[in-house]
């Protein structure tokens, strides 16, 4: 199964990226390339909507770590929102929830960055 990426420009430097499907070694490299292209185009503030993601493996986690690094190096940030229970548990087990900002929904993530 492939991962579907859809995005919405929120302002000139901020983008909301919605993912749907299973994020695995089979599709993580292509997704990483797509996201890095968006960052290189000036989208240094990224909010992910992961409500449609049913599974994330270690390659999928690497996509978010890489994106976090790239956004920080460009003076921005990355937020994850609306994680279903299984993907959220992966972030907790790996302690990535201590490094990556997680929000219960997209609105909470947007509100947090606008305060």
Show me where the domains of the chain are located. Answer: 4-109
What is the helix (H) or strand (E) element at residue 111, kind and residue range?
Answer: helix 106-114
Candidate CATH numbers 1.10.260.40, 3.30.930.10, 3.30.750.24, 3.40.50.720; the one for domain 4-109? 3.30.750.24
pTM attached to this predicted model: 0.94
Predicted local confidence at residue 1, as pLDDT = 60
Predicted local confidence at residue 115, as pLDDT = 81
Give, for all 115 residues of the chain, the pLDDT tens digit: 679 999 999 999 999 999 999 999 999 999 999 999 999 999 999 999 999 999 999 999 999 999 999 999 999 999 999 999 999 999 999 999 999 999 999 999 999 998 8
């Amino acid at each position: 199964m492939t991962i579907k990426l859809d995005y919405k420009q929120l302002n000139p430097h901020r983008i909301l990226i919605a993912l749907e499907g299973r994020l695995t070694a089979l599709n993580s490299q292509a997704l990483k390339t797509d996201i890095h292209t968006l960052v290189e185009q000036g989208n240094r503030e990224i909010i992910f909507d992961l409500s449609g993601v049913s599974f994330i493996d270690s390659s999928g986690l690497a996509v978010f770590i890489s994106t976090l690094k790239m956004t920080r190096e460009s003076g921005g940030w990355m937020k994850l929102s609306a994680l279903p229970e299984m993907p959220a548990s992966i972030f907790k087990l790996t302690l990535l929830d201590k490094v990556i900002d997680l929000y219960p929904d997209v609105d909470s993530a947007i509100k947090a960055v606008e305060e």
